[in-house]
Amino acid sequence: MSVFYDSPLACIVIRMTSFKFKLKLNVSAGAIAVVTVAVVGLMNAAGYLWLDYGLRPRSARPHFLVLYVPPGYRASQIGNLLEQKRLIRSRRAFVLWTKVTRKESKLWAGYYNISTHFSGQFIVKILTEHTPYSRLVRVTIPEGYSLRQIAETLGNKKLVDSDEFIDYVHNSAKMELLPQFPWMAMVPTRNLEGVLYPDTYLFPPSASKRLIVKTMLTAFSRQVLPVWNASSPNATLNFYNTLIMASIVEKEAIVSEEMPVIAGVFFNRLDRNMPLASDPTVIYALGLNWKDTVFYRDLKVESPYNTYRNRGLPPTPIASPGIVSFKAALQPIRGDYFFFVASPEDNGRHIFTRNYKEHLLAQKKSPSTAN
């Protein structure tokens, strides 16, 4: 055996056999590599198709909707939201995409204006970058806010210059928007104080003064006008004076159940040609948003809004009333009360009295100024 392997012929045979064996091995390894690459390629293609399909929207009808992402939400939770709103097909695809693009931890909370035709890839871009469809600005206008307070709120949100917004609402907005809101013909002045409906709004950061006012007027049209149209045949006051009365009631009342009773007190005073004597109208005349106590010296301010010195209603609303106060001004409870004073329990309620003598007795128990 040893002699055979040591012979030259044996060496040649061994070398030839070895070459053929290596060749066979090389051919087999190459084929496996080709197959492996093909399989991996097919798997990658299938994975990409699945990912792309999973990030497509389900909704066939194009429209915009508001997406709210709460603070602290992870990619999987955001994916659930998107899947529930039919903005994507697969939560897992969304999570995978945020990992592939390394944006899993860069998704911002907030309100977004999202089209049902946006892809999941573009939604990730929106949630992580400043795009034209970036986070919306949420603004809450409470019931009873004056135009000045509304302007300040919008200014604090960097949506408007407060002074420019006030000037626009006082002087230009009505004429610009009257064709779209013909009911504003019932407002006898250019000043739109009182018709910017109090609500929570979502505005794009680039919203114009016109868009903001138009949005608030649209809300007023939907909330207040149907109530007026249904009740106007039996209304004591015309539309604008009802709005003025509602604004006073809104500022006077804390508990909504008392609004019709407070409205009834003011209607009783109007019937007797008594001054309305409403503290909020004096505060408005002083150019203030709020005042804890109205002193006797404040009652001397010379202004058409001072209802201690002037009989009847002020020339415009003093705030934007909510729907409850507007209904109260339309349907007051006309009892025999002419005065009211804050309850000694300081719970937001009032003691209502029929004459000045009763009023003085109640006032001694009250922790604050009476009406």
Residue 3 has pLDDT above 80, yes or no: no
pLDDT at 261: 97
- 344 — pLDDT class (breaks 50, 70, 90): confident
370 pLDDT band, cuts 50/70/90, is low
The pLDDT, as a whole number, for residue 345 is: 80
High-pLDDT (> 90) share of the chain, %: 67
Residue 5's pLDDT is: 34
Could you tell me the pTM of the whole model? 0.77
pLDDT band per the 50, 70, 90 thresholds, residue 227: very high
Q: What's the pLDDT score for residue 219?
A: 97
When the pLDDT of each residue in the chain is averaged and rounded to a whole number, the result is: 86
242-250 mean pLDDT: 98
pLDDT value of position 57: 84
pLDDT score of 322 more than 80:
yes
Residue of 94, 118, 114 whose CA lies nearest to 104: 94
* pLDDT score at 365: 77
